[in-house]
Amino acid sequence: MLKKLLVANRGEIAVRVIRAAKDLGIKTVAVHSAADATSLHVLLADEAVNIGPPAAKKSYLNIDAIIEAAKSTGCDSIHPGYGFLAENATFSDAVTAAGLVFVGPSGDAIRLMGDKVSARSAAAAAGVPVVPGSTGRVEGIEAARHILIDTGFPVMIKAAAGGGGRGIRIANNLAEFEQAFPQAEAEALAAFGDGGLYMEKVIGKARHIEVQVLADGKHAIHCYERECSLQRRRQKVWEEAPSRALSEELREELCGSAVALAKAVGYSGAGTVEYLYDDEANRFYFIEMNTRIQVEHPVTEAITGIDLVSEMLRIAGGEPLRIRQKDVSVRGHAIEVRINAEDPSKDFAPFPGTVGDLRLPGGPGVRFDSMLYPGYQVPPFYDSLLAKLIVHGETREAAITRLVRALGELKIDGMKTTKPLFLALAADPSVQAGDVHTRWLEGWLNDNAAKLAD
């Protein structure tokens, strides 16, 4: 078992990981930038180390400073959270080379599955259906034109190193394509330090459905699926489990394919295999694998009763996977919404500020994962996620009713948040019926965003 863990992250996920570690009796060390000296993760950890100035490049992305902090405080392990260095193979390797345990997959596994192009090939090789498109990276516009024969229009140009909904462009015709391709290349290089591109047919009216896996390098299980079809700019804003779109038969097939893939690559730790599901054609396609804990993992915890971060820590500590597939079962329905410091009535403009009066939701079936406390100053340098509200109920209807109740209890004075968005979505007939797809919210926002004032 691990004894002392450094958490290489900030915000709600650093708090989440610190809690899981403490529940296992593991000592915790927080790292923070100069802007985060009084952040909740710093206040909750047993020790804290300042690793640099506010800019993430100089602090939360500073591999040397983080490893030095772990060594100087006598840690035996590092958990990367999500974002920042979580899917950085160099970091995983550097942690291991320093004689520490990386709570996540090996550098090689991240290189294989974190690169979206090689992951696509690995999925295809494991017999998992992928979206029609390019094989390998597309080298130059000439090669790209050939692939259009398979994809047709609209076509997606995607960065091999992309993530978080960034590095994706759609071209509706040849003229748009000729213009978009070189732009995508330059952008990918600038944003991710890697200009590698690939192409996929656009699956219209798809649902985003992903499968949570846990593996120890030998064994792999799944913890069922999450549906994350409500997205803005290809980023999830509302996630739930289970998906109401899957039949039992399809659920087994989908979850089975994720386990097969995890086994085929000898995966270790927690991971998520993401798919697009086309309701009408009743087909699913692999899109990518996230080799880390995801933002939306609590909805799976709610319906399965498994503490995913705790299992990650146990696996990293050398314990074999202790959960059998037959012991994973689903109870009820869970929904998570992302409470961001953004003004939804002003095109989701960031709204950093100081938390005034604060009233948190609670009671049966409610979990609130957050970094908030009264007087906390939200720094302007990082992601705008403040909190995640997770509700659990016996049915999807009960979960939505509970969501509205919990949102009503929540009061964050001092800043605009995305709360009005979720109250409006919970009242929408299409959301209530679960009749949505990945581009549904875009259209809905065109008609309704102006009404979302707090």
Residue selected from 49, 211, 321, 366 as contacting ligand ADP according to rule CB under 6 A? 321
Q: What stretches of 265-337 show up as alpha helix (H) in DSSP?
A: 297-304, 308-316
DSSP codes, 28-48 = EEEEEEGGGTT-HHHHHSSEE
Map the footprint of Mg ion across residues 265-304, applying CB under 5 A.
274
Q: What is the largest CA-CA distance in the chain?
A: 60
Comparison of 4 and 234: residue with beta carbon closer to ligand ADP: 234
Map the footprint of ligand ADP across residues 208-237, applying CB under 6 A.
208, 219-221, 231, 234
Q: What stretches of 56-173 show up as alpha helix (H) in DSSP?
A: 63-72, 89-97, 107-114, 116-125, 140-151
Whether the bond between 154 and the residue before it is cis, its omega within 30 degrees of 0, is: yes
We find the least distance from the C-beta atom of residue 113 to ligand ADP, in angstroms, to be 12
Map the footprint of ligand ADP across residues 63-102, applying CB under 6 A.
none
Q: Which positions are catalytic?
A: 292
Q: Provide the CB-side half-sphere exposure for 121 (13 A, CA).
A: 12
Q: Report CA-CA distances (Å) from 170 to 152, 276, 283, 285, 442.
A: 12, 16, 22, 18, 15
Instruction: Please check whether residue 298 is in contact with residue 388, taking contact to mean a CB–CB distance below 8 angstroms.
Output: yes
Q: Is 274 in the site for ligand ADP (CB under 6 A)?
A: yes
Taking the C-alpha atoms of residue 225 and residue 257, their distance in angstroms, rounded to an integer, is 12
Residue selected from 140, 318, 320, 363 as contacting ligand ADP according to rule CB under 6 A? 320
We find the least distance from the C-beta atom of residue 69 to ligand ADP, in angstroms, to be 29
Residues in the chain: 454
Q: Is 291 in the site for ligand ADP (CB under 6 A)?
A: no
Taking the C-alpha atoms of residue 225 and residue 245, their distance in angstroms, rounded to an integer, is 11
What the block records as the tokens of 300 is 């799976």
We find the least distance from the C-beta atom of residue 353 to ligand ADP, in angstroms, to be 28
- The phi-psi region of residue 136 (left if phi > 0; otherwise alpha if psi is between -120 and 50; otherwise beta) is left
Residue 334's binding partner among ligand ADP, Mg ion, none (Cβ under 5 to 8 angstroms by kind) is none
Q: Is 164 in the site for ligand ADP (CB under 6 A)?
A: yes
Q: Is 202 in the site for ligand ADP (CB under 6 A)?
A: yes
Q: Is 344 in the site for ligand ADP (CB under 6 A)?
A: no
Q: Which stretch binds ligand ADP (CB under 6 A): 97-105, 119-127, 317-325, 384-392?
A: 317-325
Comparison of 274 and 343: residue with beta carbon closer to Mg ion: 274
Residue selected from 122, 147, 156, 426 as contacting ligand ADP according to rule CB under 6 A? 156
Residue selected from 53, 98, 137, 163 as contacting ligand ADP according to rule CB under 6 A? 163
We find the least distance from the C-beta atom of residue 110 to Mg ion, in angstroms, to be 15
Taking the C-alpha atoms of residue 281 and residue 132, their distance in angstroms, rounded to an integer, is 14
Comparison of 129 and 164: residue with beta carbon closer to ligand ADP: 164
Comparison of 137 and 234: residue with beta carbon closer to ligand ADP: 234
Nearest Cα to 381, choosing from 2, 10, 3, 4? 10
Residue selected from 324, 329, 446, 447 as contacting ligand ADP according to rule CB under 6 A? 324
What dihedral do alpha carbons 396, 397, 403, 405 form, nearest 10°?
Answer: -150
Within a 10 A sphere around the Cβ of 61, how many other Cβ atoms?
A: 18
Residue 156's binding partner among Mg ion, ligand ADP, none (Cβ under 5 to 8 angstroms by kind) is ligand ADP
Within a 10 A sphere around the Cβ of 132, how many other Cβ atoms?
A: 14
Number of residues binding to Mg ion, judged by CB under 5 A: 1
Taking the C-alpha atoms of residue 152 and residue 137, their distance in angstroms, rounded to an integer, is 18
Within a 10 A sphere around the Cβ of 220, how many other Cβ atoms?
A: 23
Q: What stretches of 270-412 show up as alpha helix (H) in DSSP?
A: 297-304, 308-316, 396-409
We find the least distance from the C-beta atom of residue 288 to Mg ion, in angstroms, to be 5
Comparison of 31 and 313: residue with beta carbon closer to ligand ADP: 313
Number of residues binding to ligand ADP, judged by CB under 6 A: 27
Q: Is 378 in the site for ligand ADP (CB under 6 A)?
A: no
We find the least distance from the C-beta atom of residue 132 to Mg ion, in angstroms, to be 18
Map the footprint of ligand ADP across residues 12-51, applying CB under 6 A.
none
We find the least distance from the C-beta atom of residue 329 to ligand ADP, in angstroms, to be 12
We find the least distance from the C-beta atom of residue 275 to ligand ADP, in angstroms, to be 9
Q: By the criterion CB under 6 A, which residues form the site for ligand ADP?
A: 131, 156, 162-165, 168, 200, 202-203, 206, 208, 219-221, 231, 234, 263, 274, 276, 287-288, 320-321, 324-325, 438
